Amino acid sequence: MQLYVDTHYASPYALSVFVALHEKGLPFTVTTLDLSRGEQQAEGYSRLSLTQRVPTLVDGGFSLSESSAITEYLDEAYPGNALFPADIRARAQARQVQGWLRSDLLPIRSERSTLVLFYAPSLIPLSAEAERAANKLFAVASGCLAHGGPYLSGEQWCIADVDLAVMLNRLVRNGDPVPASLADYATRVWQRPSVQLWVNQQRPPL
């Protein structure tokens, strides 16, 4: 398998697929694309990636873009550690969280890009709009974890935990105020070995 990611290893969506492949124990190679130079739009890559974005996974003669589609494919196509809960309702809830994180909270994603995770924190305070988005994030995350277990699905980790932890860590690791229980959760997921493999990648200067 071949996984295409961004040169700076900053894409949260590429991170999600990278973690999924390691959790599954699947061998793969990584190819980086310089998005600032438009390499994702080059003819060769655009033939592989329907959306001309990262990540894209190539598995033999099959290629697939969009991280949530890729992780679902990996979970259904390959044995090994489960990426999603076995219970159909818990699995649907995990996918619900993934879908929401990819379509909402734009002020947080804009003011606390993932560069704050892998390069340097932002010194600019959150805007009022971003604070409202943060409060919504805290309310949703607290509701999802209200069962008291360490992960979204209780005792069992799933790939949606990575996505939620990334969003929370945009604030936690930047030094913005985050409820202690959510900061602990985000840190716990961040310390997972498969996540740390991504965190510790060698990155070029910005």
Instruction: Find how far residue 71's CA is from the centre of its chain.
Output: 11
Q: How confident is the model at residue 107 (pLDDT cuts 50, 70, 90)?
A: very high
- Give the pLDDT score at 150: 96
Mean confidence (pLDDT) of the chain? 96
Reported as a single tens digit per residue, the pLDDT across 179-189 is 999 999 999 99
Burial (0-12, 13-18, 19+ Cβ within 10 Å), 204:
exposed
Give me the domains of the chain, ranges plus CATH numbers. Answer: 2-81 (3.40.30.10), 88-192 (1.20.1050.10)
- Give the pLDDT score at 43: 84
Question: What is the model's pTM?
Answer: 0.95
Mean local confidence (pLDDT), 20-28: 97
**How far is the C-alpha of 204 from the C-alpha of 206, rounded, in Å?**
6
Q: How confident is the model at residue 148 (pLDDT cuts 50, 70, 90)?
A: very high
On the question of pLDDT at 97 being above 90, the answer is yes
Q: How confident is the model at residue 15 (pLDDT cuts 50, 70, 90)?
A: very high
